Amino acid sequence: MKKVKTSNLDIQKINRTNVYQLLRQEQSLTKQDMVHQLGLSLPTIVNNITTLQDEGLIKEEGILGHTGGRRAKTWTMVKDARIAIGLDVTRDYVIAVAVDLSGKIIYRTQKWCKFTRSDAYYKKLGALVEHVVKHVTLDENRILGVGIGVPGLVTDDREMVFYGEILKFTGTSCTEFSKYIPYKTALLNDASAAGFGEFWIRGKPGSAFYISLSNNIGGAVMIENRILNGRHYHTGEIGHLTLHPGGKQCYCGQRGCVDPYLAATVLSDLTGGDLSAFFKLLEENNKNAASLWDAYLDDLSMTVNNVQQLFDCTVILGGYIAEYIEKYIPELKKRAAARNSFEHDADYINICRYKIWSIAAGAALVFSSGFIDSI
């Protein structure tokens, strides 16, 4: 097999990327720290620091040492050197966030706005994006792009919804959504976006299954640090796993799917669409809320156990429900463990980090990740 030579330019880019990624990971380092951890020469480190500093991506943070000899400067990444925006489009409202290069949400907002496939709706999306931009930066050149998470399946090029039964918007294009958004845009399946964000912020989680417990149920799969999309781009659609054969009607046309049993609306419908109010009732030992939650935990334990039996991996619970579920994790683990044929615990269950903002954050991080990979 013919060997492919690595050019000097390739080596320079690899070194620059490694220096930047190390600073992202460690937050603050001296030149000598970088020499030691990367195994590069001091002149190489100095050259890359200069380049990254000139590009506004890193900065001198401080000085270490207080007595004797020359004190060492420390360097850190400029977290807000670039900003990405994410939208979570639902039937009744839109969540918008801005994230910096560390993945931190630096601004978030929610606008009640019923979805319609109309010019008026797309104008509202454009106005919402501009609202976010004005709150986070005076320099629009720092905006990497706008990721739009939608409750539908999206083509591999992120340009078209090819299955959109929830909002009845099959065939809607990214061009339509972004008509009044003057930045790069991309459409993403909502659960896939949330899963991507969660996997990204955790670094390299190995193998994991992300379950989005929002107004609809979806998921994302990572196998050995690679996201699995599937032949038809609907890998991870756990909302359509059969949970109760012949049971409740699902929007997909089938009966007994996970979605009509675990959607956040199953709970919030008791309190007029207010999920936080449901959990307040639960805290107050309301009988109706307690009965509903007991059934929900049973169905959730069955679902996560099915995932664990198939993939034998970490299961991350995300979406709107994740904002409130931490207190109830021990009971969920107990129920899931009782169903497990091989282990006697359910320590594989984790809670996501972004919670209610997960879809919008993940949609934004697609642009952040792409930029960082290009450095």
The pLDDT assigned to 293 comes to 98
pLDDT in tens, the chain (375 residues): 445 456 777 888 899 999 999 998 888 999 999 999 999 999 999 999 999 999 999 999 877 655 455 678 899 999 999 999 999 999 999 999 999 999 999 999 999 999 999 999 999 999 999 999 999 987 999 999 999 999 999 999 999 999 999 999 999 999 999 999 999 999 999 999 999 999 998 887 788 999 999 999 999 998 887 888 888 878 889 999 999 999 999 999 999 999 999 999 999 999 999 999 999 999 999 999 999 999 999 999 999 999 999 999 999 999 999 999 999 999 999 999 999 999 889 999 999 999 889 999 999 999 999 999 898
Bridge partners, residue 33, by sequence: none
Instruction: Give the distance, in angstroms, between the CA of residue 219 and the centroid of all CA atoms in the same chain.
Output: 11
Q: Domains (ranges, CATH) in the chain? A: 8-77 (1.10.10.10), 81-195+358-374 (3.30.420.40), 204-352 (3.30.420.40)
Tokens read off for 275: 């999920």
**CB 145 within 8 Å of CB 368:** no
- The secondary structure of 261-292 as a DSSP string is HHSTHHHHGGGTT-HHHHHHHHHTT-HHHHHH
Q: How many CA atoms lie within 13 A of 195 on its CB side?
A: 31
**CB 223 within 8 Å of CB 179:** no
**CB 336 within 8 Å of CB 328:** no
Q: CA distances (Å), 115 to each of 29, 112, 223, 300, 364, in order? A: 47, 10, 34, 29, 20
The pLDDT assigned to 70 comes to 63
Rounded Cα–Cα distance for residues 87 and 13 (Å):
32
Handedness of CA 218, 320, 253, 116 (dihedral sign): negative
Rounded Cα–Cα distance for residues 90 and 14 (Å):
40
Rounded Cα–Cα distance for residues 344 and 363 (Å):
36
Q: 């007595």: which residue's tokens?
A: 67
Rounded Cα–Cα distance for residues 136 and 99 (Å):
9
Phi and psi at 72, nearest 5°, equal -90, 135
The pLDDT assigned to 360 comes to 96
The pLDDT assigned to 6 comes to 62
**pTM over the 0.85 mark:** yes
| Nearest one of 101, 41, 99, 110 to 76, comparing CA atoms | 101
Give the angle subtended at the CA of 326 by the CAs of 323 and 329, to the nearest 5°. Answer: 135
Sheet holding 349-351, edge to edge: 226-228, 217-223, 208-213, 314-318, 349-351
Instruction: State which amino acid sits at residue 158.
Output: R
